[in-house]
Amino acid sequence: MKITNVEAIYLRLPQVKEQCDSGQDALVVKVSTDSGITGIGEVDSAPMAVKGAIEGPFSHTITSGLRELIIGEDPLETEYLWHKMYRQNIYSGRRGIAIHAMSGIDMALWDIKGKTLEQPVWKLLGGGFHKKIRPYASSLFGATPAKTRARARRFRDMGFTAVKFGWHPMGQDEKTDIALVREARKGLGDDADLMIDAGLVWDAKTAIQRARAFSEYRIFWLEEPLLPDDYDGYRKLSEAVDVRIAAGEEESERRSYLELMDRGKVDIVQVDLTRCGGFTEGMKIASLAQDRGLPVVNHGFTTYINVAAALHYLNSIPNSFILEFVAEQGTTLRDQITKQRIVAKDGWLDIPQEPGLGVELNEEAVAKYRWEPK
Ligand SMILES: [Mg+2]
């Protein structure tokens, strides 16, 4: 079997508002083969930069569009192809956009492998750790503490036993920060897990003060309180407080995760398969975390391609326990571009049993939302 084409398809709603909502656009990777099997993947990054990294031509022996490098290759050789793409983009790659682009390709290759061998991806990765996985409802804070409380109650009414709130208006002032967490806890009741995603808003000393103040409301983890490059700040914070510190969604490639784990001393390692280097790299990151006694959770705020990938991944590693899940449904691309929707039942998600990722593109929606520069 040989790879015959790699496409980076940018999908975008006609109107994209200036707000934190990654359901407004999506970068889907499609890899075709001469056997007729196609695989899909996703990249949550700067879409047109990723498209360039994938579809661009050869430029240099160590800088090349990824498509050029893998056309004609056997799609089942995932480890070899990962290293070929990495090695031939040393100038332009190693972290960031190039690794993000490789993530989408790697995901699509594993989808092809699963469809070819007629097995779900998690089985090919050697998994089987879960029969089902508990999702946490992942949401932005309400505009006010009271609105956050109402939102928390709604997620509990939907059956979720864990909820995360994040980003604005956290970080404005101490009183509001504490009120947001207090009201979130009130809305959830005592017996649900509450995670807080600060959204890169503090320095280490402020984060230590907030983590101590939030402990009264029994938060399960405090996520990304500091800028991602402040590894020494993460270490100070982590060593000063009891609450678990979570981070990792900004990282790509395992060596940046090593920095976060060994220098930053985080407690929970967050892996976005659409950015970290795909399944091939994600498995190595999980193994490095396992060696350090650290749990791994997915990061995902985009389409069901990423959610499906996370289900396969978390079912393939021993140090997994919960899955990030966007519970809101509505008018975003997420609900339209795949034929399948993944929904929680009684507070749990089933492990996919179909070959490959188990999600397929809705080609009508792809045609409708495909965006090209004018
Ligand atoms: Mg986050």
- How far is residue 185's CA from residue 372's CA, in Å, rounded to a whole number? 44
CB count in 10 Å sphere of residue 331: 10
Tell me the pLDDT tens digit for each residue of 62-73: 999 999 999 999
Can you tell me which residue has the tokens 């050869």?
A: 58
Q: Parallel, antiparallel, or unpaired for β 219-223 and 193-197?
A: parallel
- 96 — alpha (psi -120 to 50), left (phi > 0) or beta? left
- What is the 65 CA–ligand 1 centroid distance (Å)? 30
CB 149 within 8 A of CB 156: no
Instruction: Indicate whether 321 and 186 sit together in one domain.
Output: yes
Tell me the pLDDT tens digit for each residue of 302-361: 999 999 999 999 999 999 999 999 987 766 888 899 999 999 999 999 999 999 999 999
- What is the 76 CA–ligand 1 centroid distance (Å)? 32
Q: Is residue 8 part of a domain?
A: yes
- What is the 175 CA–ligand 1 centroid distance (Å)? 22
Domain that holds residue 43: 3-120
Q: Classify residue 333 by its DSSP letter.
A: G
Domain with residue 320: its CATH number is 3.20.20.120
Instruction: Indicate whether 215 and 346 sit together in one domain.
Output: yes
Beta-bridge mates of residue 219? 194
**Amino acid found at 281:** E
The residues near 363 (Cβ < 8 Å, ≥ 6 apart) are: none
Q: What crossing angle do the helices spanning 204-214 and 231-240 adopt, rounded to 10°?
A: 30
- What is the 247 CA–ligand 1 centroid distance (Å)? 7
Q: Which residues surround ligand 1, an ion (CB under 5 A)?
A: 197
- What is the 311 CA–ligand 1 centroid distance (Å)? 18
90 pLDDT above the threshold of 80: yes
- What is the 166 CA–ligand 1 centroid distance (Å)? 7
Instruction: Indicate whether 28 and 63 sit together in one domain.
Output: yes
Instruction: Indicate whether 32 and 153 sit together in one domain.
Output: no
Domain with residue 67: its CATH number is 3.30.390.10
Q: Classify residue 321 by its DSSP letter.
A: -
Q: Is residue 358 part of a domain?
A: no
Question: pTM of this prediction?
Answer: 0.97
Instruction: Indicate whether 301 and 213 sit together in one domain.
Output: yes
Q: Parallel, antiparallel, or unpaired for β 244-247 and 219-223?
A: parallel
pLDDT at 304: 95
Tell me the pLDDT tens digit for each residue of 22-61: 789 999 999 999 999 999 999 999 999 999 999 999 999 9
State both tokens at 256: 């940046």
Q: Is residue 310 part of a domain?
A: yes
Length of the chain: 374
Residue 117, phi then psi, degrees to nearest 5: -90, 0
The number of folded domains in the chain is: 2
Instruction: Indicate whether 110 and 216 sit together in one domain.
Output: no
- What is the 249 CA–ligand 1 centroid distance (Å)? 7
Instruction: Indicate whether 98 and 199 sit together in one domain.
Output: no
Instruction: Indicate whether 186 and 259 sit together in one domain.
Output: yes
Note the Cα 344 to chain centre separation in Å: 18
Tell me the pLDDT tens digit for each residue of 163-209: 999 999 999 999 999 999 999 999 999 999 999 999 999 999 999 99
Q: Is residue 257 part of a domain?
A: yes
Instruction: Indicate whether 236 and 273 sit together in one domain.
Output: yes
Q: Is residue 157 part of a domain?
A: yes
When pLDDT is cut at 50, 70 and 90, the band that residue 17 belongs to is: confident
Q: Is residue 184 part of a domain?
A: yes
Instruction: Indicate whether 9 and 83 sit together in one domain.
Output: yes
Nearest alpha carbon to residue 202 among 169, 227, 234: 227
- What is the 290 CA–ligand 1 centroid distance (Å)? 21
- What is the 292 CA–ligand 1 centroid distance (Å)? 22
Of 120, 152, 179, the last residue of a domain is 120
Instruction: Indicate whether 106 and 143 sit together in one domain.
Output: no
For range 110-129, the mean pLDDT: 98
Residue percentage of the chain with pLDDT more than 90: 94
Instruction: Indicate whether 217 and 308 sit together in one domain.
Output: yes
